[in-house]
Structure 1
Amino acid sequence: MADGGGRLGQAGRSGGSGRPGGRGLLAYIGSFTEAGGRGITVARTDPATGALTLLGSTDAVANPSYLALSPGADVLYAVSETDEGAAAAFSLADPVRPELLGPPVPVRGDGPTHLAVTGTHLFTANYGSGSVSALPVRTGGGPGAPAAVMAHRGGGPDAERQKGPHAHAVVPDPSGGRLLAVDLGTDSVWTYALDPVTGLPRLQGETPLRPGTGPRHLVFSPVNDRVYVLNELVPSVTVCRWDAARGTLEPLGETRVLPPGEGVRTYPSAPVVSADGRFLWTANRGHDSISVLALDASGDPGGVPEVVGCGGVWPRDLTLHPSGGHLYAANERSGDVAWFAVDAETGTPRCAGSVPVPAASCVVFA
């Protein structure tokens, strides 16, 4: 596995040291190779401090901007966010040295930005073509050629960003029986029912959101029926109710993720919910910040959000460590991943350090 520029084993800038031989989880960090990224970088996490220690990287796939793990965490999947659009799989038999399972497979969609594994298929959200691809997972974990491609239709009022559909994220519901696709171009969330036998998607419905908001990602609350749809074209989150029995999404209201009066053009990127459902965090590009929204017992936000710096520039992704004690921001334009200790009572993140990862775009843990 290539070291991607001679940074193999470099410790975090904070001086906190990870333990390559320790028992901390591994972090897999995606990046844009066309912007100088090293592909997929592997790092060790310190279980006490959250610090990252870089171990190595592989540039076997172009622009692996988003990553996802198989249910057994033995295969790592990556989009190849290029005009041609592809998905790839890496064996984690040696978790420190991911091994490519065959060449990347075309997804029959342009610019895939997100992917998820559920049931028997790997799904990609294809931003450029405004579609969702379903790739069967073969024996051994590698993806096959798309068995279905679902094309979205429509647009929005933003003449520059919403001339047509732009699927940006695909998220399985908690049951794994449905797939929600967030489309920035159509200002809507598309719901697909997954056939229990074939695993293939069938369009069930489309939930319209406020025109011009440009929904980008969503996250399910782990404790109630709320779904939080983060918007990119306005700095807000749309709170929805998820009816698990019917598979329907009902918008309830929209909440700003920045305090009033913030004049910087902001493009929110990623939402995260705490395991106890008390806090919603969002990463905000342009404003270069992380917002903290306190949630009530029903899962609804209240009060003015707290905002802290993201530890870098242009936070493209935000990830919560499985322990719940640390947040990680992939700061694309400053080329680093920053980690934050989270106050268990207030939800406030405090930056504790960072490591250099050029063109960083996402972080997943195994």
Structure 2
Amino acid sequence: MTEKILFGGYTKRVSEGMYSLDLNKETKQLENLTLIAKEPNPTYLVVDKSQHLYSVGAVEELGGVAAFSFENNQATLLNHVVSTGAPLCYVGVDEVRNLVYGANYHLGEVRVYKRLANGSLELADTAKHTGSGPHKNQTSPHVHYTDLTPDNRLVACDLGTDGVYLYDVSEEGKLSLVSTYQANAGAGSRHITFHPNGRIAYLFGELNSTIEVLAYDKEKAEFSLLQVISTLPEDFSGESAGAAVRLSADGKYLYASNRGHNSIVVYKVSENGEELTTIQWASTHGDFPRDFNFSQDEDFLIVANQDSDNVTLFARNKENGELVVVQKNVFLPEGTCVLSIGE
């Protein structure tokens, strides 16, 4: 049985755009590298239920989002929605409201796009953040994540302000700010993921390499802090920055990637989701693990090492959460996003 894994990435050196690899679950191997679309620096991508692919996109000096139809492992461009400035860094889909969300890191903006009948996009709304933080990389807002909460609000993580912003979203895609949670100063809020119980979230701070465990009050639309835990070993003194964070579907194990320490840290999650305990650091056998993701059955975890142009495949033990490397040095140029789309 094989499973298709898609990859986004930069095109600064050798990459031409977005790629796929086949995960052969019987041989535990990734194989058949295929270019699925040429696009400048498609560093994040997502596929909706109607087989449209949305990615970070650019046209010459303009940046934004790109929409593609996706069939037979090939993506065909539908349209770009771009404006002056750098492209987005994150793209998320809202199937309920028929919207796509984008995070513009460089401009500090949340973007909302309406999906049209053929899957192409048009801009519906923009929210611009203000503020800064104490770290040298926090001189201005840097929105890094825009996706849905379990109760279908939009949550935006801002690395530049340490803020986590909750928005109500209308059917037309108009944003209304509801509340803001301030992470620890200098944390650099990057990505967030939610426990299956819908009451707990895990916020990854890129700049201080910590996970903040948060209680989420749906009625008040507020976050509150429960725990802070490092993603790095106590004896590590080198440079490192947080990247991706993902939770197993059963809510029992949380995983996060460290760029610099070049590892995936594994946490055991308490039954109520409120406490993390570190159980493993697994080397990614590459440099700068920008993103990783599970296979559909979560028996495997696939890591893209951006600076060493390789993918590492781990087998995942569902009983204890631990990772064992089964393949490394699979060529994948400049990978920054990993997405399984099934068979």
TM bucket, shorter chain: over 0.9
Q: 1:276-307 CA distances to partner (integer Å, 9 max, x unpaired)?
A: 11111101000000101111111133444421
CA distance in 1, matches of 2:101, 2:276: 34
Partner of 1:10: none
Does the 8 A contact of 1:116 with 1:170 survive in 2?
A: yes
Aligned counterparts of 1:49 and 1:152: Cα–Cα separation in 2: 48
**One-letter amino acid of the counterpart of residue 263, structure 1:** S
Does residue 219 in structure 1 map to residue 196 in structure 2? no
Distance (whole Å) between structure 2 residues aligned to residue 211 and residue 166 of structure 1:
15
Q: CA contact under 8 A between 2:215 and 2:224: conserved in structure 1?
A: yes
Identity %: 28
Aligned: 1:315 with 2:281: no
| Corresponding position of 1:187 | 162
In structure 2, the residue matched to 1:358 is 333
| Aligned twin of 1:231 | 205
Q: 1:50 to 1:231 in 2, by over 3 A?
A: farther
Q: Distance in 2 between matches of 1:352 and 1:106?
A: 41
Q: What secondary structure does 2:2 align onto?
A: coil
* Contact kept? 1:220, 1:228, Cα under 8 Å: yes
Q: Deviations along 1:76-111, whole A, 9 cap, x unmatched?
A: 1101279632211221232x1221113x21156634
What is the alpha-carbon distance in structure 2 between the residues aligned to residue 266 and residue 62 of structure 1? 27
**Contact 1:65–1:81 (Cα < 8 Å) also in 2:** no
2:138 pairs, out of 149, 152, 162, with 162
Q: 1:49 to 1:248 in 2, by over 3 A?
A: farther
Unaligned regions of 5+ residues in structure 2, if any? none
Q: Which whole-Å deviations, capped at 9, do the CAs of 1:306-338 have from their partners, x for residues lacking one?
A: 211012110000111120111111100010111
List runs of 5+ in structure 1 lacking aligned partners.
Answer: 1-22
Q: Structure 1 108/240 Cα, relative in aligned 2: closer, same or farther at 3 Å?
A: farther
| 1:42-121 equivalence runs, <5 A | 42-72=20-50, 74-80=51-57, 84-94=62-72, 96-102=73-79, 104-106=80-82, 110-118=86-94, 119-121=97-99
- Name the CA distance, whole Å, in 2 between partners of 1:261 and 1:357: 31
Corresponding position of 1:20 = none
Alignment of 1:4-15 (within 5 A): none
Aligned to 2:147: 171
More off after superposition, 203-212 vs 39-48? 39-48
Q: CA deviation at 1:70?
A: 0.9
Where does residue 267 of structure 1 map in the other structure? 241
User: Where does residue 40 of structure 1 map in the other structure?
Assistant: 18
Q: Which residue, 243, 252, 258 being the options, matches 2:226?
A: 252
Deviation at 1:342, TM superposition (A): 0.6
Contact 1:227 1:242 in 2 (8 A): yes
2:237 alignment partner, SS class: coil
In 2, Cα distance between equivalents of 1:55 and 1:91: 20
Secondary structure (helix, strand or coil) at the match of 1:85 reads: strand
Query: What's the counterpart of residue 279 of structure 1?
Result: 253
Q: Please tell me the residue identity of whatever aligns with 1:193.
A: D
Q: Distance in 2 between matches of 1:285 and 1:178?
A: 30
Displacement over 6 Å in runs of 4+: none
Amino acid at match of 2:149: D
* C-alpha RMSD over aligned residues: 1.8
CA 299–49 in structure 1, closer or farther in 2 if over 3 Å, else same: farther
**What residue is the counterpart of 1:348 in the other structure?**
322
* Equivalent runs, 1:322-337 vs 2, <5 Å: 322-337=296-311
The C-alpha deviation readout for 1:162-181, integer Å capped at 9, x for no partner, is 00100001121123x31100
**Matched letter for residue 281 of structure 1:** Y
Q: How does 1:197-212 map to 2 (within 5 A)?
A: 197-212=171-186
Which AA in structure 2 matches 1:218? I
Residues 332 and 361, structure 1, Cα contact 8 Å, conserved in 2: yes
- Distance in 2, matches of 1:55 and 1:290, equals 24
Does 2:108 correspond to 1:130? yes
- Greater shift in the superposed pair: 39-48 or 299-308: 299-308
- For 2:146, give the aligned amino acid: V
SS of the residue 2:121 aligns to: coil
TM-score by length of 2: 0.93
Aligned AA (1:184): L
Instruction: State whether residues 285 and 316 of structure 1, in contact with CA within 8 Å, keep that contact through their aligned partners in structure 2.
Output: yes
Equivalent AA in structure 2 for residue 76 of structure 1:
L
Q: Pick the aligned partner of 2:262 from 288, 291, 306.
A: 288
Q: Which is worse superposed, 335-344 or 75-84?
A: 75-84
Is the 8 Å Cα contact of residues 153 and 167 (structure 2) preserved in structure 1? Answer: yes
Distance in structure 1 (CA, Å) of the matches to 2:264 and 2:28: 17
| Cα pair 2:226 2:274 within 8 Å, conserved | no
Counterpart amino acid of residue 295 in structure 1: V
What residue identity is the alignment partner of 1:188? Answer: G
Q: Which has the higher strand share?
A: 2
Separation in structure 2 between the aligned mates of residue 225 and residue 41 of structure 1, nearest angstrom: 36
Output the TM-score relative to the length of structure 1: 0.87
